[in-house]
A and B are shown apart, each in its own frame.
Chain A
């Protein structure tokens, strides 16, 4: 493949820049234009403050195209939203209908097995779960709603994020293309996509789940990519020297060795998802975040802090569960050196 020389990129960029200036200048909505271009060279006052006519009409462009976009493709988003909503409602109903002791027992059982039968972690997690309802009985159902959203969000992150991470690790070009998108996803303020989310998916849990995906997926993608690339080069060479194909290498060597990092990514994902749930309460998402917002709006400091504590407890429960599973895998991969007693 021939490489495009750097100069070409600069040329394209410069041309693009000038076209943009000319287009902005000629845009009908641009205000207070000078009468002629020559005026710019006789009267230099436009150099003091940013001139009103030097303005790319991005807002106008986006608004126009946004309307066209909604009209053309709105149905697709309706379909996605409907599918998600069905999944969300069914999952939530099951957990809400179940008697609370059953839910606590289920959490304890899951933790017991994911943590590799560690008693301390299990008891601690069970206690935290109990305390969510204990803080305020109203919180119980709300915590279940929040958890359902978080779990669905993480599920989407895993299904989409891990394959992207794998693709990035295997191909330099894919990585270079995706990295700026990840930066954008992490840096762009949440409110910028919450509002379009409402327009596309309506109020409630679905835009929250989509926001969770945008906000929480980048660390999972990054850690998957990093985990795969950090696998010892010599181990990869060993696999190659035995004639392992790319697929055999990926599933037999790279993925198992990257798993601790990927689990760390899922853990990060969980924590960020919980943070997003609170912000999402501003667009009418129910759940524990809603309680915080309510407390703040009524200047009821006690209620807000109580709800905040419940979120912390929920975070601890989810964190312990995913973290413990990651540690278990890590121990299997890199066992601590033990001297076997032969008696």
Chain B
């Protein structure tokens, strides 16, 4: 079973969500419901399943329901209808005490505007999750100091959040989320409030941390480049509906509808596409071309284009143990880079 399973979630905001639910289930869209009943549809029949150890990126513009969706996973929001399972536990059936215990043990969350406690020092902020679990101060401060070191903030532990820059504050947020050693990390537009350089820095740091920790991460963003960089799978939301779920390449190469297509239109494809999704079996057009370079299956097209252009020859794609998987020539490269 998947680590996180969200099944047919509906969320309607307004005074009488139950009465409106049948209409939404019958297929009326967000605008119609708003006009007829004054209710806002937050989520409309969303189902996702997230495997252990993967980074699932949930993408959409503001108002698409992505922040609402992530809050269903730790039940900060109750759905109007639907089911949520985390590690096989039916989250919606938990009583108040079990729910608090579940939040303490299983997951933690990183927020867009950091959500740090302004009246606590950095070390107390990071130790907050452990404080809630009633761990003794010495023990929790030690763990907190380790986490602060892991995110590179040693020396700032006695500062207050307002004394730190945005990027540093979000590192505190990340350290705080990791301090309780949860299985699942929920990141709600975690890097959206940071400026571009720091953002890409934080993305790299997250990828690095993830390669060691292998957490299950649910990441919310409105930035397609970010989702392509971080996501093992990407789900695209539009108006509360899940439009497409797939691997980054799938989304890029086979957009499900115009909305997704317009999204991916501006993306630098060479940076996203990997050798393994571009390669083909050896065919007639390759006759007479030399194999000039062996590329790893996970290299991006961006790495390979200079070689293809420079040598005008064939590139052989191999897996990690060196077995041949396929070939790329200039014609494949040009085919995948063109937008239609």
Contact = CB atoms under 8 A, between A and B. Distances in A.
A340 B155 CA distance: 11
A234 B170 CA distance: 13
Contacts of B71: 237
A184 B167 CA distance: 49
Nearest to A244: B132
Q: Report which residue of B108, B132, B186 has the largest number of chain A beta carbons within 10 angstroms of its beta carbon.
A: B132
Interface string A305-343: 000000000000000000000000000111111101000
Interface in B121-141: 128-129, 131-133
A240 B132 contact: no
B132 A237 contact: no
B118 A333 contact: yes
The A interface, classified by DSSP as helix, strand, loop or mixed, is helix
Contacts of B162: 334-337
B198 interface: no
A161 to B, nearest CB: 22
B47 to A, nearest CB: 23
Contacts, number: 75
B100 interface: yes
B74 interface: yes
A259 to B, nearest CB: 8
A242 interface: yes
Given A243-B103, A245-B100, A237 B119 contact: no
B39 interface: no
Interface stretch (B27-35, B109-117, B294-302, B332-340): B109-117
A26 interface: no
A242 B104 contact: yes
Contact of B117 (A243, A253, A337, A340): A253
Interface residues of B, number: 33
Given A237-B76, A335-B162, A243 B100 contact: yes
A69 B128 CA distance: 53
A298 interface: no
Contacts of A335: 160, 162-163
Contacts of B149: none
A248 interface: yes
Interface string A230-268: 001011011111111100100011001100000000000
A256 B102 CA distance: 26
Contacts of A340: 159, 163
Given A241-B109, A335-B160, A338-B163, A235 B117 contact: yes
A238 B109 contact: yes
Contact of B76 (A235, A240, A333, A334): A240
A257 B113 contact: no
A235 B116 contact: yes
Contacts of A232: 113, 115
A23 B159 CA distance: 70
Contacts of B100: 243-245
B115 A337 contact: no
A181 to B, nearest CB: 27
28 contacts: A232-B115, A234-B114, A235-B115, A237-B76, A237-B115, A238-B111, A238-B117, A238-B128, A240-B76, A241-B74, A241-B108, A241-B109, A242-B103, A242-B128, A242-B129, A242-B132, A243-B101, A243-B103, A243-B104, A243-B105, A243-B133, A244-B100, A333-B118, A333-B119, A334-B118, A335-B160, A337-B162, A338-B163
Interface of A: 232, 234-235, 237-245, 248, 252-253, 256-257, 332-338, 340
